[in-house]
Amino acid sequence: MFGRLIAPKPRTIEREALEVELDEGRTIVLQRVRDPRSRRLKLSVDERGARLTMPTRCSIAAADRFVAEHRQWLATQLDRYGIDGVPVLERDITAQLPLRGAMLPLQWQPGRFSRLEALDDSLVFTLPARAGDLAIRRAARDFYEAQARADVGRWLPRYLPSLPRAPRRVTFKLMSSQWGSLAPDGSMALDLSLVLARPSAFEYVVVHELCHLIHADHSRAFWREVEARCPHWRDEREYFHGEGRQLKATLRALCGKAAT
């Protein structure tokens, strides 16, 4: 008889975020990924930030040397994407977090449950002693989604009377390039990083998607509907041109792993 074939245990991908100092004292956040499928060291930069992919058996010292040799390349690419100073969410270290176009002071305290909450003009992160990185990111994700839903819930009643119907539902996710979308069934999806933007810009995206309930295209008639509800929409669109990549990179750095 043949013996039972046992499949090899799959090797997992390991990730960690670390700060890297570039030239002139500039500090960035680098996502270091140890991937069993990788055969060589590789640096990449996109709207999510900087990433180093390394083989399983590669040493940390070799990876650090590789990054040091490509510091200028990293700086150039990050400038190209407009990404700089993306925050790192570290327990008892991170002192402020972004919300609605501002940086709010952050306090850490022990507690039974992982929870991030807003109190007046500051934030409080409560964590059990054994809470790990994933729990911290999940709590951040839950907080930001709750804040985003509160904003949308506050704005919707203002626009619903002039629309043919209400959105079927509203969901939040991480989007690579879009800020929002409206499905044929009326379901609205919004980029969670909108809650980090100034409120007027976030509201413009909501108006934009609501107007697709009237016109599914981007015709002149559609833009007239947007103009009637958001006369300053051009200013908000320009804001995203300048700040959009930074917003997306920041949200991914803070809770991207917990948002998948």
Q: Each residue of 40-72: pLDDT tens digit?
A: 999 888 766 788 999 988 899 998 899 888 888
* Strand 122-127, strand 14-21: pairing: unpaired
Grade residue 228 by pLDDT with cuts at 50, 70 and 90.
very high
pLDDT above 50: residue 260 = no
Question: Closest Cα partner for 53 from 74, 35, 71, 78?
Answer: 35
Q: In 3-state terms, what secondary structure has residue 82?
A: coil
CA distance 192 to 63: 32
Mean pLDDT for 226-232 is: 97
Mean pLDDT for 186-207 is: 97
DSSP helix, strand, coil percent of the chain (3-state; round to 5):
40, 25, 35
Report percent pLDDT > 90 for the chain.
Answer: 57
pLDDT above 60: residue 4 = no
Report percent pLDDT > 70 for the chain.
Answer: 90
Higher pLDDT, 14 or 2: 14
pLDDT averaged over every residue in the chain: 88
Higher pLDDT, 220 or 10: 220
Question: How is residue 179 annotated by DSSP?
Answer: S
For the stretch 66-107, pLDDT in tens is 988 888 888 888 776 656 666 778 889 889 999 999 999 999
Q: Tell me what pLDDT residue 84 has.
A: 60
Q: Tell me what pLDDT residue 13 has.
A: 75
CA distance 193 to 174: 7
Q: Tell me what pLDDT residue 51 has.
A: 85
Q: Tell me what pLDDT residue 5 has.
A: 53
CA distance 130 to 110: 10
Q: Tell me what pLDDT residue 88 has.
A: 73
For the stretch 125-174, pLDDT in tens is 999 999 988 999 999 999 999 999 999 999 999 999 999 999 999 999 99
CA 236-239-242 angle, to 5 degrees, is 160
